[in-house]
Amino acid sequence: MQSNLFVLTGLPGTGKLTVARALVDLLASEGETVRLVDNHSINNAVFRLIAQDGVTPLPPKVWDRVGEVWQTTLRTIEELSPQDWHIIFTAYLDGVSDTGWFRRLEEVAETRESVFVPVRLVCGSEENARRIVSPERRELMKSIDPDEPHRLAAAGPPYDPKHAGQLTLDITETPPAEAATRVLDHALGLAAAQKP
């Protein structure tokens, strides 16, 4: 199988990490090597060193430090990670502070000669509010504010990069394993379409 660079985006608490883990399991069951880069596996290198509770807004300067860790991670994947590995990223994009991040991941995929697989996960705000308060999210230093999904929903639909190869998937009632299968099927379709 050609290597893929998956980018799973969606609002905080949507279920990005849950679907990503199911995708890891699915690919691993087929003998593939996968690396999962959840946004908090990067963010928490910095978050562990500041006062944060998952609800109170973080100091703006924290994002500059997080950006430095992200850039190091991306360069490592470009320059040192084996090209046949599948890489899965998860992130919440607001379309403002993350300007250029999505395109940068597309560049990483191009450098690695991987299929770029952007996936936009959406979830109903009531279900999102139920998911966001899970104890595991607190342990992972993720947002656990039950009002956040409602605030974000009231502000409008989640950011949409509008990428030509993008899959938008409503996972409000879709089990993670089924969502992972649909993501992988989409990736295989993109790979087939790119063949001469």
Q: Model confidence at 142, in pLDDT bands (50, 70, 90)?
A: confident
> pLDDT tens for residues 3-41?
999 999 999 999 999 999 999 999 999 999 999 999 988
Residue 182 in this model has a pLDDT that exceeds 90 = yes
CA distance 31 to 60: 42
Q: Strands of 4-9's sheet, edge to edge? A: 34-37, 86-91, 4-9, 115-122, 167-170
Query: What is the pLDDT at residue 7?
Result: 97
Q: Give percent of the chain with pLDDT exceeding 90.
A: 65
Domain ranges of the chain: 4-194
Residue 99 in this model has a pLDDT that exceeds 80 = no
Residue 153 in this model has a pLDDT that exceeds 90 = no
> pLDDT tens for residues 43-95?
888 988 888 887 888 888 998 999 999 999 999 999 999 999 999 999 998 87
Q: Give percent of the chain with pLDDT exceeding 70.
A: 100
Which CATH superfamily includes the segment(s) 4-194? P-loop containing nucleotide triphosphate hydrolases (3.40.50.300)
Contacts with 163 (C-beta within 8 Å, 6 or more apart), sequence order: 102, 106, 118
3-state secondary structure of 60: coil
